[in-house]
Amino acid sequence: MTNSGKRKREPTWGDVKTRLGDIEHGGLVRLIADLYAASSDNRAFLYARFALGGDPLGYAGKEMTFTSYVHVGEPEFNKHKFGLLYVSEHEGRLFHQKYLFQAVYRTADGRWAGCEDSNTWLPPQSARHVKPEMVAFWPPVLFDTRKMTMAERTGRAQSS
């Protein structure tokens, strides 16, 4: 409590972002180095964020067996040839993170991309604000929207 009896407000991301704007490049590198050294979770995050860790579970390009607890209907990932499926390992077994899946398609330049908002399944506190960009897919990605409601057309495209 302050002298006036009011609680001091908690800092927000906006406060941190303002301070980060005042730090020169070398200072940012030192800050990230400190975060890297502080915990294995931070290191894992940085490896994933900068695509340095490759495949943490060792399954890239391989078939995997996992348990999925989708309680209603066919799992969304069964409806697509390729997808980003979120799994975790517990006691030597792989588990699909409930309902976390995004269909992905090959782009004209050989990368992979999806056609939906990457925040669709994330809780608000985890959402990242990524500016959408036009992507050329090869082969072209098409969705038949004739039988979709307006709400479906403006929602997740691949649920058709």
Q: What's the CA gap between 109 and 138, in Å, rounded?
A: 8
Residue 52 has pLDDT above 80, yes or no: no
Give me the chain's average pLDDT, please: 80
Could you count the other beta carbons within 10 Å of the beta carbon of residue 120? 14
The residue extents of the domains of the chain are 1-54, 57-159
Q: Read off the pLDDT of residues 10-46 as tens digits, 9 standing for 90 and up.
A: 988 888 889 988 899 899 999 999 998 998 878 877 7
Q: What's the CA gap between 46 and 37, in Å, rounded?
A: 11
Q: What's the CA gap between 112 and 131, in Å, rounded?
A: 17
What are residue 55's phi and psi, to 5 degrees? -115, 100
- Exposure string of 19-46, with b = 16+ CB inside 10 Å and e = fewer, is eeeeeeeeeeeeeeeeeeeeeeeeeeee
What are residue 31's phi and psi, to 5 degrees? -60, -45
- pTM listed for this prediction: 0.52
